[in-house]
Amino acid sequence: MEYIVPCTVCGKHPATQGHHLFSQTKPAIRHYGKKLINADWNIIPVCEHCHTGHSNMQGYIKDERWFREQSKSRGIDLPPPMKSYKGEGA
């Protein structure tokens, strides 16, 4: 992925990668589908320095509750939550 913007996290380096706020794990992709996991609102532009190891990514890693809320606010119909989901009222 190539961006012409600074990194969302540090703002110092050009963004060269996309970071999924709600992780693109295999179970998540199987459950929600690749298209939804790769929605533009779930990906932010970041530089390789911040993205490597996720050490600087505090606040930029979201859980399934966040992902479901964001999806629902966009009018997206969702399957039931994943088995690992611990939230209430999803």
Q: How far apart are alpha carbons 30 and 73 in whole angstroms?
A: 22
In a domain, 89, yes or no: no
Looking at the chain, the whole-number percentage of residues with pLDDT higher than 90 is: 78
Q: What is the DSSP letter of 45?
A: E
Examine residue 85 and state whether it is found in any structural domain, yes or no: no
pTM to 2 decimals? 0.86
Nearest of 62, 54, 58, 63 to residue 84 by alpha carbon:
63
Q: Which domain holds residue 59?
A: 17-73
Question: What are the pLDDT digits (tens) for 4-30?
Answer: 899 999 999 999 999 999 999 999 999
Look at residue 1 and tell me whether its pLDDT is greater than 60. Answer: no
67's enclosing H/E stretch is: helix 64-73
pLDDT of 47 strictly over 80: yes
Q: How many domains, in total, are found in the chain? A: 1
Alpha-carbon distance of 32 to 39, in angstroms, equals: 11
Has residue 25 been placed in a domain?
yes
Q: Is pLDDT of 83 > 90? A: no
**Would you say 62 and 22 are in contact if contact means Cβ atoms under 8 Å apart?**
yes
